[in-house]
Amino acid sequence: CVKPSTPLSKGKHLYREGNNADRCYVVRSGVFKTFTMTPAGDEYVTGFHYPGELLGVTGQATGRHGDSAMALETSTACRVRLDDMATLWEIGGGPSLMRMLGQSERTAAGEHINLGQVRADARVAGYLLQLSGKQQQLGRDKLILHTPMSRTDLANFLGMTLESLSRVMGRFSKAGLITSRLGEIVLERPEELKTLALHLPESN
């Protein structure tokens, strides 16, 4: 009852806003971004989703997906149809699904709190630490962050301009807190990032 999608290449949609929401998805490999479009045609990035995370759950409330999900690199996801939920529970998969749902809610709450940070440096530091936690849960090196999203998408998600994000990342690099390379951000001094996320004075 749980079926993997065919591999989706970068830029391909798993589902689109307004599609029928008769299933939800569990990311199996790769990374997806979710986003909505405003009436004016502007894109609003709502999240980046790594293996083990749920997608498309909110669409079950209305029967239509309220956002779109796009692969940021070659990615796959397992499809879970609503009609199969009872069978999934009977064969012992229900508790695992509930754990994923709980983790999804916990992640969303943490991101919401972080996005409420007024200071740009605190917001960026907080997100990098949250992503570090995701890496650790996946059994990966928590200091080497896999970041296939563009800087434009990351700035959009964090509610910042691209210029503001670039300034923050530049300050972090100059201070030796991080090292940026293609598709990765290395946390060189995570303890100092924790301090920034909590106690940073006002920044531009």
pLDDT of amino acid 203: 42
The pTM of the full predicted model, rounded to 2 decimals, is 0.81
pLDDT of amino acid 60: 74
Exposure class string for 44-63: b at 16+ Cβ within 10 A, else e: ebbbbbbbebbbbebbeeee
pLDDT of amino acid 151: 95
Q: Residues with Cβ < 8 Å from 67, sequence gap 6 or more?
A: 17, 34, 35, 36, 46, 58, 59
H/E segment holding residue 165 = helix 162-174
pLDDT of amino acid 54: 85
Distance CA 79, CA 96 (A): 15
Contact 16, 64 (CB under 8 A): no
Distance CA 76, CA 67 (A): 18
pLDDT tens-digit profile, the chain (204 residues): 456 678 999 999 999 999 998 888 889 999 999 999 988 989 999 999 999 888 888 887 788 999 999 999 999 998 887 666 555 445 445 566 666 666 666 666 666 666 666 689 999 999 999 999 999 988 999 999 999 999 999 999 999 999 999 999 999 999 999 999 889 999 999 999 999 887 544 444
pLDDT of amino acid 183: 92
